Amino acid sequence: MNRKTPRGMNRRHFMSHLAGASALTGTALALGQTLRANAQEMQRNQKAAILLWMGGGPSSIDLWDMKPGANTGGPFRPISTNGDVQICEHLPMMAQNMDKMSIVRSMSTREADHMRGRYYMHTGYVPNPNVKHPSYGSVIAHQLGTQRPELEIPAFISVGGESEGPGFLGMAYSPFSVNSSGRVRNLNLGISPDRMASRMQALKLMENDFIDQRRGIAANEHAKVLGKTLSLMTSSQMEAFRVEKEPTDVKERYGDTNFGRGCLMARRLVEAGVPFVEVNLGGWDNHQNIFNTLENQKLPELDRGMSALLEDLAQRGMLDSTAVMWMGEFGRTPNINGNTGRDHWARSWSVLAGGAGMKPGVAIGQTNEDGTRVQGQSYSSEDLMATVCKSLDIDLETTFTSTSGRPMKIANSGKLIEGLI
Amino acid sequence: MFQLATLKNLIPMIVLIIGVLPASPAEAVEPTPDKQVDVDGGVAPQLLQIDKMIAEVWDAYQINPSKPATDSEWCRRVYLDVVGRIPTADEASSFAADNSNTKKQKLIETLLYDDLYTEEFARNWTTVWTNLLIGRTGGTENRSMINREGMQKFLRDSFARNKPYDKFVHQLISATGTTAPGGEDFNGATNFLIDKVNEENASLATAATTKIFLGLQVQCTQCHNHPFNDWKQQKYWEMNAFFRQARAIGQGMQSGMGNVATLTDRDFAGENGNSPDEAEVYYEMRNGLVAVAYPVFVDGTEIDRSGYVSQTNRRTALADLTVKSPYFAKSIVNRMWAHFLGYGFTSPADDLGPHNVPTHPALLDYLGQEFQSNEHDLRQLISWIVLSKPYGLSSRQNKSNVSDDPLLGEPPKFSHFYLRQMQAEQLYESLMATTAGVQRSGSYAEQERVKNEWLQQFNTAFGTDEGGEATSFNGTIPQVLMMFNGDMIKSATSVAQGGLIDTIVRAPMSNAQKVETLFWKGLGRKPKAAELSLAKTLINTNGGNFAEGLRDMWWVILNTNEFIFIH
């Protein structure tokens, strides 16, 4: 990747060519929202969140909530960890790091369809034809990213997948999607910075002219994305994507896999000031041959990457200000089907959360002997979102006025998960 | 990839200057009087009805529609929606120069029926339906049995010949044969279901068929009763039972042909394996009890329960029932309306379930019936929509209809055109049209290959049991990076000999006319005075180098919101 730095011209000079192009630069807040956020609090320590997204719906009963006695338990055995919980024997490296994360074993949700589950777990809202709710990352980019004027790369980055969109917060809060190699396509200017600046000046005039014709919000959103793109192209913070620059032993520790590289990139991006990174690991939709797949493919990759990330964050003193979450659309059936697989199951499943001052090493809630039901208080997507937002010092009273005019609370009025925060 | 311009390509431009450029500077602003007459002088009753029923809702909400779109805007819209690209400078300016009050009618008839446009028309709708039936990523994954070329051959042929929609869908649902062109028994239609019948007891086939052709989203009821209406699990499994004879047999990749597979129907002896006369399907209800299902259509019509193909071919029976269903006609009307107007009468446009009330229920019913009684003719349906008043409105909002904006969560009232971005395929075809004329080099297959390579950069598949995919060509940073710096844009804006810029620079016209040409090519309209000044500025910043100045101007045009949005 050869990104051309504007030679002989520092960034401020370059951007000054676009003075007055308010539609193209700056981080203008999206239309139609109000917020009452605690700006001072957040500036003190740079908080961030990393979401490890397990596309397909990973089985909890084989990973984090073992049922060795039951006929739903499957062949894996539990092992002890350095936390107060037992986990799957095929996650030995995570077993050394359960002093950093807790397991919420009492998740109970109602969306067992991939698209709906994805949407729900990413937004805290059930899909609705009239409103497009913003994704976790968009919300946090909006709350934390806008407080960081020095951040030149996108505030919401998705590695190895597309995540869910910004909804009514507007295109400027879309996830910036990149693959785990860190290579961003089409960064090369190809012409002199001066010439680019003159083109942008002309483009600004035509953009604004079209916007003045009042044809709808989309035209304004386009202009904002132009500004964000320009900012990214000229930024030295792009170095954060370059995972290959890490020492060999670090790269090996994370693992020579897409997920491993993605986790390493997440650490670098958070260090550069990005408040939200989503790292994707798919392939969990195991309707058949689940135990083979887990033992030989999914678990080793997960174990290595996730444990490396936690260790690294802890070592660098970043764990206290970084929330880490692990989840998928839903869990999988305790009942093992006729193809030695498990099907979709949202009634009782687990997610993991840790960092940013959340209590580590414990299990929150529990399921019954065969894992088919949560016993006691159960939790939902909104509850997890509320808890994570709180850990990042985001005011839960924050309200968005969605484009339909309805006020919407930031985590859909989720309640805090007791014992976690 | 880009055809070098030859003298041949210069000629249209000279003709353009001599005869066809409109003289009046006010052209860009004054639209044609809004009178849609067919060649016999009468107005089609469907048009009158559409306009009447749409206007009734405006009155009910007390909003005034926007004024009509300019000729340039309307022309650009029509080309993009009907043939999938912007008009050439020639096409745009000759439409603008035409003073007859039947010019809209004439244009749509040309695009729909003139041989000159058949191939482009077919290509556009092949793209739309490929994405719908198998997805942008369909056939690209290792385990897939889909032969993309086979799918597209079937579609292209269907659209070129204006195959009636009911026949088209009947073929897709009941198809047997092999997937790859060149094979014996080749039937491109098999590619729709080939990847959807073997796994998960044909759950993908059930969900896709009911959603795409009936507008009914039954996939939720696979596991439990529908959350929003009173559909029961039973309904899903009764539809699923229609697919239990279907079987896909993969034969792997074969040289020169790609993925080869066969879709066939075999006798089904019921899930317990020994009741072929009453071939049943079992499913588990939430309370753990097991229930039984036989093939029953969504409207309750039962068919013979035999699993013997010679007795009852279940997919053929399903196809017969589907194309007669009122949902069938309504769902295609809704889908086409959404294609042209940006939104259907329901949101989402492929959900006509009882919980989803349409914005204009009487109009949807009426158009469904008209479509059915007009031999399910898609081109006829297109002309009704394109010549309607709502499609002809400006996207500029007025004080009274600012609130009519689905992005604000409001159901659409179609009182102004809604801005929407071009799709990646439309951008590609538009750039091809501007740089290479409409003729291209290489065989059709080669052109498609190059195009698909470029398109793949935006697509990711989710790899779950629901299919599902995402595109990053959605107005975000990667798309803008591509428009700023990508190879295709670099090529389009290059000053190399024989390229677009070079051709214009060398044409025998004034500098002002050369700048004008860029605006006609990119935006389908004349430049404003301020834009001519802008061009002058760009030439100056390039030290007076005219070609380099034009290059910058063209780059700017391609990157504007006005270019990328259908407006």
B556 with A228: Cβ contact below 8 A: no
Q: Which amino acid is at A133?
A: H
Residue B400 pLDDT > 70, yes or no? yes
Which tokens go with B271? 């899930």
What are the pLDDT digits (tens) for A258-287? 999 999 999 999 999 999 999 999 999 999
User: In chain A, what percentage of residues exceed pLDDT 90?
Assistant: 73
B481 with A130: Cβ contact below 8 A: no
Query: Which of A364-368, B187-191, B216-220, B413-417 is the least confident region?
Result: B216-220
Domain that holds residue A262: 31-182+242-409
pLDDT of the residue at A310 = 98
pLDDT of the residue at B184 = 85
pLDDT of the residue at B375 = 96
Nearest CA in chain A to B560: A207
Contacts of A185 in chain B (CB under 8 A): 457, 478, 481-482, 486
pLDDT of the residue at B58 = 97
Report yes or no: A49 and A278 within 8 Å, Cβ to Cβ: no
CA gap A313, A304 in Å, rounded: 14
Partner B, chain A 105-124, Cβ-Cβ below 8 Å: 110, 112-116
Q: Is this complex scored with an ipTM above 0.90?
A: no
Total Cβ atoms within 10 A of residue B406: 18
Could you tell me which of B489, B490, B447 has the C-alpha nearest to residue B1? B447
Is B220 part of the contact surface with chain A (CB cutoff 8 Å)? Answer: yes
CATH number at residue A73: 3.40.720
Largest CA distance in chain B: 85
Out of B463, B477, B541, name the one closest to residue A225 (CB): B477
Q: What is the arithmetic mean of pLDDT over B49-75?
A: 97
Report yes or no: B265 and B315 within 8 Å, Cβ to Cβ: yes
Q: What is the arithmetic mean of pLDDT over A360-385?
A: 97
Residue B91 pLDDT > 50, yes or no? yes
Cα-to-chain-centroid distance, residue B332: 12
Contacts of B420 in chain A (CB under 8 A): 218
Is A225 part of the contact surface with chain B (CB cutoff 8 Å)? Answer: yes
Q: What is the arithmetic mean of pLDDT over A81-108?
A: 98
pLDDT of the residue at A172 = 84
Is B482 part of the contact surface with chain A (CB cutoff 8 Å)? Answer: yes
- Strand pairing report for B420-421 and A86-88: unpaired
Q: What is the nearest CA distance from B156 to chain A, expressed in angstroms?
A: 31
Number of domains in chain A: 1
Q: List, in sequence order, every residue forming a beta bridge with A156; answer none if it has no partner.
A: A276
CA gap B458, B249 in Å, rounded: 31
Interior/surface letters A370-391, b for 16+ CB within 10 angstroms, e for the rest: bbbebeeebbbbbbbbbbbbbb
pLDDT of the residue at B435 = 74
CB-neighbour burial class of residue B24 (10 A; exposed 0-12, middle 13-18, buried 19+): exposed
Q: Which amino acid is at A71?
A: N
Residue A202: inside a domain, yes or no? no
Out of A199, A209, A229, name the one closest to residue B477 (CB): A229
Contacts of B410 in chain A (CB under 8 A): 130, 404
Report yes or no: B495 and B435 within 8 Å, Cβ to Cβ: no
Contacts of B283 in chain A (CB under 8 A): none
pLDDT of the residue at B148 = 92
- CB-based contacts of B143, cutoff 8 Å, min separation 6: none
Ranges of each domain in chain B:
121-324
- Has this prediction a pTM greater than 0.80? yes
Q: What are the φ/ψ torsions at residue A325 (nearest 5 degrees)?
A: -125, 145
Residue B313 pLDDT > 60, yes or no? yes
Rg value, chain B, Cα: 26
Contacts of A235 in chain B (CB under 8 A): none
pLDDT of the residue at B342 = 95
pLDDT of the residue at B21 = 39
Q: What is the nearest CA distance from B200 to chain A, expressed in angstroms?
A: 8
* A25 vs B479, more confident: B479
Q: What is the nearest CA distance from A339 to chain B, expressed in angstroms?
A: 10
Residue A132: inside a domain, yes or no? yes
Nearest CA in chain B to A33: B408
pLDDT of the residue at B348 = 87
A206 with B562: Cβ contact below 8 A: yes
Chains A and B form CB pairs within 8 A to the count of: 172
Q: What is the arithmetic mean of pLDDT over A48-67?
A: 98
CA gap A268, A277 in Å, rounded: 10
CA angle A126, A132, A136 (to 5 degrees): 75
Q: What is the arithmetic mean of pLDDT over A107-115?
A: 93
Is A176 part of the contact surface with chain B (CB cutoff 8 Å)? Answer: yes
pLDDT of the residue at A391 = 96
DSSP secondary structure code for residue B527 in this structure: P
Is B467 part of the contact surface with chain A (CB cutoff 8 Å)? Answer: no
